[in-house]
Amino acid sequence: MDIVLRAAFAFTFIFFLTRVAGRRELSSLEPFDLILLIVLGDLVQQGVTQSDYSVTGLVLAAGTIALMQIGASYLSFRFNRLRPLLQGEPIVLVDDGRVLEANLQRERLTLHELQEQARLSQIDSLDKVRWAVLETSGQISFIPKN
């Protein structure tokens, strides 16, 4: 029973952390982020399984986390009101070539980062962007002007 509770707590805590950390931090995978991700995984594993090396322990921990993930996605699918809480909401960053500074600040994004993301989408100037939206995944989608 203990391992199920630990896995459930780990899932909830990581879910809470990811919601607190913000989207941009999680969507970028620079080398440092990648290493951090591996370290975080290792720390979580120690807290969940501790010194349990059994296959039973693996089944219990992985099964619990999978069930909670399914549960969270079902809640998000089933209840519209919970979706912003569970997944977040998109934020418009550029409206008809005009950068919305307040929205950038809110997500701790700089203009340079926005321009970099635009270049990655083969857009050389934000003036050519009709809409730029920071999606709930942390990716920025660009819709060019006609």
Give the footprint of another protein on residues 54-83 (CB under 8 A): none
Q: Where are the alpha helices (DSSP H) in 22-144?
A: 23-27, 31-49, 55-78, 83-87, 101-106, 111-120
Which amino acid, residue 109? L
Quick note: the x/- pattern for another protein over 6-45, rule CB under 8 A, is x---------xx-xx-x-----------------------
Size of the site for another protein (CB under 8 A): 25
**Start-to-end CA span in the chain (Å):** 58
Angle between helices 2-21 and 31-49 (to 10 degrees): 150
- Binding of another protein by 138 (CB under 8 A): no
Residue carrying the six token digits 């805590």: 13
* DSSP helix/strand/coil, 123: coil
- 95 touches another protein (CB under 8 A): yes
Among 12, 45, 50, 125, binds another protein (CB under 8 A): 50
Q: Which residue in the block uniquely carries the two structure tokens 């934000």?
A: 126
Q: Are 94 and 126 in contact (CB under 8 A)?
A: yes
Question: Closest separation between CB of residue 131 and another protein, Å?
Answer: 6
To another protein, the closest distance from the beta carbon of 69 in angstroms equals 21
Contacts with another protein by CB under 8 A lie at 2, 6, 16-17, 19-20, 22, 46, 50-52, 89-92, 95, 100, 102-103, 106, 130-131, 133, 143, 146
